[in-house]
A = this chain, B = another copy of it.
Amino acid sequence: MAFLSMNLSELREHRPARTEPDDFAAFWAGTLAEARAVPARLDTVAVETGLATVTVEDVTFPGYAGQPIKGWLVRPRGAGGPLPAVVSYVGYGGGRGLAHEHLLWASAGYAHLVMDTRGQGGGWAVGDTSDEAPSAGPAHPGSMTRGVLDPAAYYYRRLYTDAVRAVDAVRTHPGIDPERVLVAGSSQGGGLALAVAGLVPDLAGVVAEVPFLQHIRRATEITDAFPYKEVADFCKVHRDKVETVFATLAYVDGLHFAARATAPALYSVALMDEVCPPETVFASYHHYRGPKEIAVYPYNGHEGGGAHHVPAMLAFAAKVL
């Protein structure tokens, strides 16, 4: 994929108008209040992995509607505490994976909570959390259109809430310092991190690699790649419901969360990314309200900075945590 429609100097200036629903703040305040009726907690069960330098625990915490959400808690073995923590979210189609798959953050000395993704986990990494909700009308295969005809029934309302509650949960853990929590993720995981950053006021930092779910309607107009294309495919069939779909999506568009977020943020963007087009990432970045920096990878697609970006993330975490 050669460079997309805008070149880098145009992207550096790209700050499109955003229009959020009138009741956006109320919608999320209500959603979270309802979810927080169930007190935060983090249940842990030790897991034997054969690893020597880290411990892994199988964790469960209450998410949307108090539903049990799974995760892994990985920590450096024998570390005292309380430790600063990283809460990370997974890319589209994947779940929390297996217990030994999350070595980086704990090897760097942090407590690391990996949140499972409800109802995903069949695509590439395994998952263990069901989406305990009816499908609420027709859906194109995949999560993007599940319940998309109604903001209250939409899949991402539940998932964003889970992500907020993961932070609530990790802060209850005695070995973790609740003042020093960073949220992180790539693609959908980056979109979740940004949503949490807009909904939880006192985070220490945000790492959003090539984030998904930013400037969604525009994305459906400029890329043919999944998962944005799930929305386009739904609209292709449901020709009479296009406006309804985008009315719902406005409640989960990352631009509106970015505009509220105040924690320091490290974005990354890849100029040949067809999955999360750079135009949409820069749109989010330029609306981000807090201190921010962005790493640009000119010849990369959705793999973004890959392993080359890890030192930047570790340095950012070291700075803010």
Contacts and interface: CB of A to CB of B under 8 A. Distances in A.
A141 B93 contact: yes
Q: Which of A2, A95, A300, A314 has the most CB of B within 10 A?
A: A2
A300 B123 CA distance: 13
The main secondary structure of chain A at its interface with chain B is: loop
B53 A53 contact: yes
A99 B300 CA distance: 21
B50 A239 contact: no
A132 B52 CA distance: 39
A26 to B, nearest CB: 27
A133 B305 CA distance: 32
Contacts of A108: 50-52
Interface residues of A, number: 80
A52 B109 contact: yes
B235 A122 contact: no
A87 to B, nearest CB: 19
Contacts of A221: 2-3, 7
A122 B141 contact: yes
A311 interface: yes
Contacts of A1: 224
A139 interface: yes
A46 interface: no
Nearest to A52: B109
Given A2-B232, A50-B318, 6 more contacts: A50-B311, A100-B307, A125-B237, A128-B137, A132-B135, A235-B299
